[in-house]
Chains A and B, each alone.
Chain A
């Protein structure tokens, strides 16, 4: 019976982890994309460099979102209670 409570807590934790974990990367990556768009308008000839830089920056910013995803999946599928 205790298992049911532990399992329920793990599921709640999965939702919390992924839900709140998604906020930061979403804002951060959007900020990078907005600045990249402004950069293209100023220096259109550097569009390829800007795209590459934007994607690298976003990939780093994404990392915490992926940590949240991994933790959420672990909590759903691995914690048995």
Chain B
């Protein structure tokens, strides 16, 4: 029975399934990818409004920091949009491998954008709250927010790399392993880096948010706090890096 199944997999005409999978992958990328940016930017806007209600005089500053913070929280959503277009309008070779790879690419970018979007939004929100509390700290807080958000976005960059590798992989079957293995490995690679990016993105956002909050309260220790944020955020990224490595192993060495 298993032999028949493997034979059927190898000889089936996968052209319809591949077309369906690339559209489905595009939907997964943008559907999941919209979650993070949406929630994150909402958090930023919420904090800015809260702060503005208490300090109407700082409204101009708050709108400025809110828009900068939201623009960066949007980055991972834009990555997802790009991957969705690549998948929808690409023409992958019809094969079981590309069915796995297309769905994997969509999941990678979609899930991977969640953590980064929410995390960057938390950092932006805390920065707005800090500036509302003490508008004189806007320079240091904005700089810290930008550094923190850049770190927060890195899991989404790992996911972008894996998605592009999967979406443009035309010759996955060149590598060793049976058709079924290669297809499942491509899907698993996408799921791995995507799901693996959620926690680190969110966690680094918490670190960056804590740092923005701290600098707002005590601007004199900006250097120490930014260093603490970078060290803590880097440790928090480690699991995203493990997931990235496992997913590259699945793509390249299976």
The tally of CB-CB contacts under 8 A between chains A and B is 221
Contacting pair A47 B224 (CB below 8 A): yes
What is the bound-complex CA distance between A58 and B191, given in angstroms?
25
Check if B203 sits within 8 Å of A28, measured CB to CB: yes
Contact status A31-B206, CB under 8 Å: yes
Q: Chain B residues near A69 (CB, 8 Å)?
A: 242, 246
Q: Evaluate contact between A21 and B184: CB separation under 8 angstroms.
A: no
Tell me, rounded to whole Å, the shortest Cβ–Cβ distance linking A27 to chain B. 5
**With contacts A4-B6, A19-B191, A23-B195 known, is A41 near B218, CB below 8 A?**
yes
CA–CA, A9 to B183, complex, Å?
A: 11
From residue 4 to 61 of chain A, which have CB atoms closer than 8 A to chain B? 4-5, 7-9, 11-16, 18-38, 40-42, 44, 47, 50-51, 54-55, 58
Q: B192 touching A29 by the CB < 8 A rule?
A: no
* Complex Cα–Cα for A33 and B240 (A): 16
Known: A1-B2, A65-B242. A33 touches B235 (CB 8 A): yes
Q: Which residues of B200-226 are within 8 A (CB) of A?
A: 200-211, 213-215, 217-218, 220-221, 224-225
Do A54 and B242 form a contact, CB below 8 Å, given A23-B199, A26-B198? no
Tell whether, in the assembled complex, residue A22 and residue B231 are in contact, meaning their CB atoms are under 8 Å apart. Answer: no
Which bucket holds chain A's interface residue count?
Answer: 35 or more
Q: Are B239 and A12 in contact (CB under 8 A)?
A: no
Count contacts on B: residues with CB < 8 A to the other chain.
67
Residue of chain B at shortest CB distance from A23: B199
Q: Does B194 contact A (CB under 8 A)?
A: yes
Cα distance A15–B108 in the bound complex, in angstroms: 11
Measured between beta carbons, the chain B residues less than 8 angstroms from A34 are 206-211, 232
Contacting residues, chain A, for B225 (C-beta < 8 A): 37, 40-41
Contact A22 to B239, CB < 8 A, known contacts A1-B6, A73-B246: yes
Q: Would you call A40 and B228 a contact (CB within 8 A)? A: yes
- CB-defined contacts of B184 to chain A, threshold 8 Å: 8-9, 11-12
B68 interface residue (CB < 8 Å to A): no
A-B contact pairs, 24 of them (CB 8 A): A7-B178, A7-B181, A11-B185, A16-B191, A18-B196, A18-B246, A20-B196, A22-B243, A23-B198, A23-B239, A24-B199, A25-B199, A25-B203, A26-B240, A30-B202, A33-B228, A34-B210, A36-B228, A37-B213, A40-B221, A44-B221, A58-B235, A65-B242, A66-B242
New contact pairs (16) apart from A12-B187, A18-B192, CB-CB < 8 Å? A1-B6, A9-B184, A11-B185, A14-B192, A15-B189, A15-B192, A26-B196, A26-B237, A33-B231, A34-B206, A38-B213, A40-B221, A40-B224, A41-B217, A68-B239, A76-B246
